[in-house]
Amino acid sequence: MSVNINADTTNGLVLTSDTSGEIKLQSAGADIATVDSSGITMASGKTLPASALTGTVPSSSVDALSTATGSAPSYSARVWVNFNGTGTIAIRNSGNVSSLTDNGTGDYTVNFTTALSASTYCITAHTNHVTNTSNTRGFLQSKTTNRTTTSIRVVCVGDGGSILDFEVIDFALFI
Amino acid sequence: MDKRIVYTNDDGTISIIIPTAEWLETHTIEELAAKDVPVGKEYHIVNASDIPSDRTFRNAWTWE
């Protein structure tokens, strides 16, 4: 049994009680949620709205992304961006990026919307040219001093060793 | 109108800040300037169409 708090459609509020230490929230006699010493459990088919899900989820409950397989923990990107660094520079898509600073040929600063907890992050990046067949490959390079919790400045180096603009530059950061 | 923020660096070169769509969903270009322009730098907000698309001599660009 349990303590029941029932919003009855005929009699209004109906309370029944016992000494189980468990409370059931009910609507028209149907269970919606149960509260006991371990926390709150939603009845089958009942869900909390996203707006109710604020605060911090214990890390022990979030050890893998829903799409991950295997038991190793998985991590999502804190910052990502895809942009065209040639012609009129255009940001195609991004996450947690407020802006891109064009500092010169192949020289860009990615500015984060929300600062990171530390600058000891890991970056993965990719560049490619669509039309320039002589420098189809490249990589991103940065100085330690250009890596902060609020931004990172990178240069794009082509396979010939020169700093170049690339048509596709995509970048993700993990910490 | 699509905007850009331009400021001059200590070595005379210029930097151009391009806002993301996600930023502009909830903030203004002026708020972006306050956040991403280096402290103490004078800046100018211009139309994106005023920025040359020919980047051949990008490192020689200056603000006039």
Is 80 exceeded by the pLDDT of residue A132?
A: no
Q: Which of B27, B36, B55 is nearest to A89 (CA)?
A: B55
For residue B40, the distance in angstroms to the closest alpha carbon of chain A comes to 17
Q: Are strands A3-8 and A23-27 parallel, antiparallel or unpaired?
A: parallel
Query: What's the rounded Cα separation, in Å, for the pair A156 and A53?
Result: 41
Query: What is the predicted pLDDT for the residue at A59?
Result: 61
pLDDT at residue number A161: 84
Q: Quick one: which of B41, B50, B47, B53 has its CA closest to B8?
A: B41
Coil/strand/helix, residue B25? coil
Average pLDDT score over residue span A4-24: 90
Percent of the residues in chain A that have a pLDDT greater than 90, as a whole number: 46
Which pLDDT tens digits describe chain B residue by residue (64 residues)? 699 999 999 999 999 999 999 999 999 999 999 999 999 999 999 999 999 999 999 999 998 8
Q: Is A112 left (phi over 0), alpha (psi -120 to 50) or beta?
A: beta
The nearest CA of chain B is from the CA of A52 a distance in Å of 22
Confidence of residue A175 (pLDDT cuts 50, 70, 90): very high
Do the Cβ atoms of A25 and A3 come closer than 8 Å? no
Q: Which pLDDT score is estimated for A63?
A: 58
B64 Cα to chain A: minimum distance (Å): 17
Task: Provide the mean pLDDT of chain B.
Answer: 94
Task: Give the chain A residue nearest B59 (alpha carbons).
Answer: A104
Sign of the four-CA dihedral B63, A165, A98, B24 = positive
- Note the pLDDT of residue B39: 94
Task: Say if residues A169 and A156 touch (Cβ distance below 8 Å).
Answer: yes
User: What does the pLDDT average to over A66-83?
Assistant: 86
**ipTM topping 0.90:** yes
Q: Residue A99: list chain B partners with CB under 8 A.
A: 5, 17-20, 23, 32, 36
What pLDDT does A108 receive? 95
pLDDT score at A61: 61
By percentage, how much of chain B surpasses pLDDT 90? 95
- With tokens 């001093």, the residue in question is A145
Is there a contact between B36 and A99 if contact means CB atoms under 8 Å apart? yes
> What is the three-state SS of chain A?
CCEEEEEECCCEEEEECCCCCCEEEEECCEEEEEEECCEEEECCCCCCCHHHCCCCCCHHHCCCCCCCCCCCCCCCCCEEEEEECCCCCEEEEEECEEEEEEEECCEEEEEECCCCCCCCCEEEEEEECCCCCCCCEEEEECCHHHECCCEEEEEEEECCCCECCCCEEEEEEEC
Alpha carbons A126 and A82: distance in angstroms, whole number: 9
Q: Which residues contact B33 (CB under 8 A, 6 or more apart)?
A: B5, B17, B43, B45
Burial of A4 (0-12, 13-18, 19+ CB in 10 A): middle
